[in-house]
Structure 1
Amino acid sequence: MIDNHTDNVYIAVAASAYRVNTKGEIYQLVSGAWLLLEDKPFDERPTPTDIQPVIYDKHCRNPSPTILRIAGGAAGQSGLIQALSDAFNKFRVSEKFDPCRVAWYKTSPSESLRYLNDGIVDVVITRNSVEVATALNQSIRLSPLGSYLIFREPLLLVGPLSNPANLDPNSDIITMFRTLRQAAQLDYTPRNAGTTDPSASFETRGDGSATHLRECQLWEEVRKVDQPPHLPAFFPYIPINRYPPLTKANIDASLNLYGAANLGYYTLTESSMYRLKPELHTKLTVYKHGQLNDPNDLLVLQGHLLVGARAQYPALAEHFAAWAAGPAGQSIVRDFRICGRSVY
C-alpha cells in the first residue's frame, strides 16, 4: 500500500493496515483514517514459575508498573538484551515516554515460542530459523507486524591448539567438517567402535539451539558428500559428545566450550560466547570464523525479534521492536562490544 506520511518506519497489512513512525507510535487504519493505538494492557498474564527473570530498570526513577517481557537465550547471555533495554529506556525518556522495566527470561528454544503463544512473554529474540518459520507459518499468534531482523552473528569452529585433525583454516567449512570426520574415521572399525580414543572428537551443543541446528546441517552436508558405505545412515560421522549432559537447569551456551576445552575436542560456538570466556582461549583456538559480509556464509546466523499477539502491553512491545530494528537500535547492535571487540 502507499502512504504519504514521511515519518513511517514500517507499514504492514493484516486484518487491518498498520504503520509505525520514527517515535515508535503505532497507528491503525480505520475507516480511512489513521488512529493512534494506545496501550490498554490485557489482563495480567501468567509468568513462568520455574524461571526467575533478570530485571533491567535503568532510567526508571521509581519502580515502573509497566514491564516488557523478553524471552531469549544467547542474546541475553551475551549482554545484548541488557544493552538494548537500557538504550531503549533512555530513548523513551528523551522522547517524553514513560520508562519501563524489562524482564529477560532465559529460555530454551522450545520454551520461547510456547511462552510467546501463551502470552507469558511479549517478545522473543531468536536466531533459530525453525522457530521463525514456525511462527511466520501462523502456528504462533504474532502481532500484525510480526517479525524483525535485528542482528547477524558469526559462528566459530574452535578446537584444541594441537589441532589433532590437521584442519586447514583456509578450507571452507564443509571441507573442514569432512576433515574432522575423516580424522575420526581413521580409528573406527565396526569391531572397535566405542573402545578406542579417536584422533578427533566433536563437542555438540545438543540443545536444539540455532547453533545446534546449524551444526546438524553441516554434518548432513558431509553425509551427502561422503557417507561411509559400510555404516548405517544414522552414523554421526564423528564421535559426538555432550558434557555435561543437557538438563533444564544448565541451558547455557557456554557449556560446550568448557567441555571442548577440558577434553580437547572441537566444537561450534557463537562469537559472543567465545569472547565471554577468555579464560578458555589458552586451550582453544579459532579455526574458522563466520564472515558477516558474506550473505551465504553457513557460519552466520540471523537474529529475529518476534512480537506476540498476546503481549501484555502491545504498543510497548511494538515500540521496542520498531526501535530495535530502526537506526537507533541498530547503532546499539553495531557498537556492542565484548572484551573490546565487536560481535554483530
Structure 2
Amino acid sequence: MDRRRYLQALGVGSALSVAGCLGGSDGSSAAIADQTLTVAAATTVNDSGLLGDISAGFKDAFDTTVRAVVRGTGAALRTARDGNCDAVFVHARPLEDEFLRAGHGVNRRTVMGNDFLVVGPPDDPAGTAGSDPLAAFRAIASNRATFLSRGDRSGTHVRERRLWDEAGVEPTGNWYRETGQGMGATLIAAGETGAYTLVDRGTFLNTETDLAAHVARGLDDPPDLLRNEYAVIPTNPARHDVAYALAMAFVGYLTGPGQGRIETFRVDGERAFRPLARSEEPDFDQYVPAEWAP
C-alpha cells in the first residue's frame, strides 16, 4: 500500500516540516534533505505531551520532517512490520522481543522509563490505597469495582494482563470493561464512570480527571511490576524501503541530546519520565530480545 495513502487513512499524529542536513543512504546530505521520518509511537508518549516536545527538539537538531502515527504498542509494531513507518517508539518488551526475533526491527535502544499507577475514585471503594499492585488488583476483583482496560494489546494492556495473571485473577463480569481506546481516552472514561484503571505516570499527570493514584511507588526506582521502559527501534531496511538513515538519526537524538530534554520535561512542574540511555556500563540486553543466547 502506498505509504502516503496509508497515513492519510490512519490519520497522522503530528507533522513538522523542515529541511534535512544528515547523510542519506548514499551518504549525502541531499539524499536526506527531502525525506520524511515516520515514527509509530505509543499513545502514552503522545498523551503525556512528550512526543510533541521530542519532535520539536529533533526538528531543531536535524532540520527534517517528522510524522508521528500514534497507536498502542502492538499496533505501532504492526505498522513497522508492514513497512509503513521508519521506526517505533514503544513500551512493551514482550511484544518488542517478538518483533526483534522475527527480524522486523534492528538496533533497539532503551530511551527512558517511568512507572505505572493504579488509579481510581478518590473514595477508593475497593480499598486499594497503599497496597502493592497485586493486592490492589485482587481487591478490585473481590469487590467487583469497575475497572477499565484498554484491551488493545498496547504496552499498558500487556502490563495489566501480567498483573492479573500474577494476582491469580481472571477478570470477568460486568465490572471489567474494555475500552479499545488509547490511554488518555481510557483515563478520561475511568474518571467519568468512577472506575479504576492502570495508567502510566506521564498520561496521568497530563490528563485532567478526578481520579486519585492509589498505588504509586515513585518514578526513580519502581518495583518490577510497575516499571515502564520505553525503547526506539528502527524498521529493518533489508525488508522495507524505509528512511533508515533518518531513523538512526532519531535513535541518536533520543539517546543523545534528547536525554536532556526528557530529563527536563515537566507536566505542571512534575517529572513524568527519567532518561535511561546514558550509562558508563550499557546493558547489552537492550539491543537484543530478552533471554537471548548465541
TM-score by length of 2: 0.78
Q: Using the alignment, how far apart are the partners of 1:274 and 1:81 within structure 2?
A: 15
**Per-residue deviation at 1:52?**
2.1
Q: Out of 118, 126, 129, which is 1:168 matched to?
A: 129
Q: Using the alignment, how far apart are the partners of 1:296 and 1:161 within structure 2?
A: 24
Secondary structure, aligned partner of 2:218: coil
Secondary structure, aligned partner of 1:142: coil
Q: How many residues align?
A: 255
Larger Rg: 1
Secondary structure, aligned partner of 1:293: coil
1:69 aligns with 2:30: no
**Per-residue deviation at 1:47?**
5.0
1:319 aligns with 2:288: no
**Per-residue deviation at 1:45?**
5.2
1:130 aligns with 2:70: no
Residue 25 of structure 2 aligns with which residue? none
**Per-residue deviation at 1:67?**
0.8
Q: Using the alignment, how far apart are the partners of 1:219 and 1:127 within structure 2?
A: 19
Is the contact between residue 217 and residue 223 of structure 2 (CA under 8 Å) also seen in structure 1?
Answer: no
Identical amino acids, percent of aligned pairs: 24
Residue 285 of structure 2 aligns with which residue? none
**Per-residue deviation at 1:220?**
1.0
**Per-residue deviation at 1:84?**
1.6
- The letter for the 2-side match of 1:334 is E
Residue 303 of structure 1 aligns with which residue? 230
Q: Using the alignment, how far apart are the partners of 2:188 and 2:82 within structure 1?
A: 35
Is the contact between residue 72 and residue 155 of structure 2 (CA under 8 Å) also seen in structure 1?
Answer: no
- The letter for the 1-side match of 2:212 is T
- Within 5 Å, give how 1:86-105 maps onto structure 2: 86-92=56-62, 99-105=63-69
Is the contact between residue 290 and residue 297 of structure 1 (CA under 8 Å) also seen in structure 2?
Answer: no
Q: Using the alignment, how far apart are the partners of 1:214 and 1:166 within structure 2?
A: 21
- The letter for the 2-side match of 1:166 is G
Name the structure with the higher helix share: 2
- The letter for the 1-side match of 2:187 is L
RMSD of equivalent CA atoms: 2.4
- The letter for the 2-side match of 1:109 is T
Q: Using the alignment, how far apart are the partners of 1:142 and 1:204 within structure 2?
A: 28
Residue 261 of structure 1 aligns with which residue? 191
Residue 157 of structure 1 aligns with which residue? 118
1:51 aligns with 2:27: no
1:292 aligns with 2:219: yes
- The letter for the 2-side match of 1:258 is I
- Within 5 Å, give how 1:1-344 maps onto structure 2: 48=6, 49-57=8-16, 60=19, 65-72=34-41, 73-92=43-62, 99-137=63-101, 139-143=102-106, 146-169=107-130, 171-184=131-144, 200-223=145-168, 234=170, 236=172, 239-242=175-178, 245-246=179-180, 251-278=181-208, 280=209, 283-294=210-221, 296-310=223-237, 312-326=242-256, 328-344=257-273
Q: Moved runs in structure 1, 4+ residues, more than 3 A?
A: 44-47, 58-61, 234-238
Is the contact between residue 160 and residue 261 of structure 1 (CA under 8 Å) also seen in structure 2?
Answer: yes
Q: Using the alignment, how far apart are the partners of 1:204 and 1:267 within structure 2?
A: 6
Structure 2 runs not aligned, ≥5 long: 21-32, 274-294
Is the contact between residue 48 and residue 206 of structure 2 (CA under 8 Å) also seen in structure 1?
Answer: yes
Structure 1 runs not aligned, ≥5 long: 1-43, 93-98, 185-199, 228-233
Cα distance, 1:167–1:55 mapped onto 2, change above 3 Å: closer
Is the contact between residue 45 and residue 312 of structure 1 (CA under 8 Å) also seen in structure 2?
Answer: no
Cα distance, 1:218–1:238 mapped onto 2, change above 3 Å: farther
